[in-house]
Amino acid sequence: MLTKESKIRVLENFYALDYIFFGKPLKKVDSCCPLIKEDYLSIKGALLSVFIEMVKMTDYIPKSISERMTSQLLLKRARGYAKNAREAASVVVKTERARADIKNELKAIIKESEGTSIDIPTLIENTIREKAFRLAVDNVLIANMLNEAKDVNALNEWSGKIVEDSYKILRDNLCETANLILDNDE
């Protein structure tokens, strides 16, 4: 059973994901393709379901909230979490290790796409953006949870590894879908 604070944190994260990707709520994002937005929402819901499983497994209990939670406060906190996560991701993406990871991803994509025409500058931009998105999502969802969880080692067990793998797949799909929305928005 989730505590009231855990439920609030999940809701804050729901909104924070939109702020990470778009800098605003999804409903304010213009996109030519409503089906992509539907996919985004479905994947986001699935990702948060997996996140809730992680919360339960690790016995995550966030710090208690003393103030009365309003929708404005919830959105303000979500924007703050997203802003901090984007800044942290920006710092990490500029490290040598992240650059090496991005180069390896690009090499794999180019090798996989051999024989087809690829727009290299767009590919590079999208790969860097997705890497930053993945880092920011991990920061918002996982970092705080791990800092305040009672049983972090639960994720090292067999069922924890399955949940973690599911999380990574859904996170990557969410980042790709957000990237599609951004590409169609431009």
Distances (CA, A) of 128 to 87, 92, 115, 121, 178: 14, 11, 23, 11, 13
Residue 149 three-state SS: strand
pLDDT tens per residue across span 128-150: 999 999 999 999 999 988 888 89
What pLDDT score was predicted for residue 178? Answer: 94
Report the C-alpha gap between 45 and 35 in whole angstroms. 15
pLDDT at residue 186, as a whole number: 54
Compute the distance between CA of residue 18 and CA of residue 27 in angstroms, rounded to an integer. Answer: 9
With contact defined as beta carbons under 8 Å apart, do 2 and 52 qualify?
yes
Distance CA 70, CA 68 (A): 6
Residues 72-125: tens digit of each pLDDT: 999 999 999 999 999 999 999 999 998 899 899 888 888 888 877 888 888 888
Q: Hey, where are the domains in the chain?
A: 4-185
Q: How crowded is the C-beta side of 58, counted as CA atoms within 13 Å? A: 26
Q: Which residues fall within 8 angstroms of residue 6, CB to CB, at 6 or more apart?
A: 55, 60, 61, 62
Q: Is there a contact between 163 and 57 (Cβ–Cβ < 8 Å)? A: yes
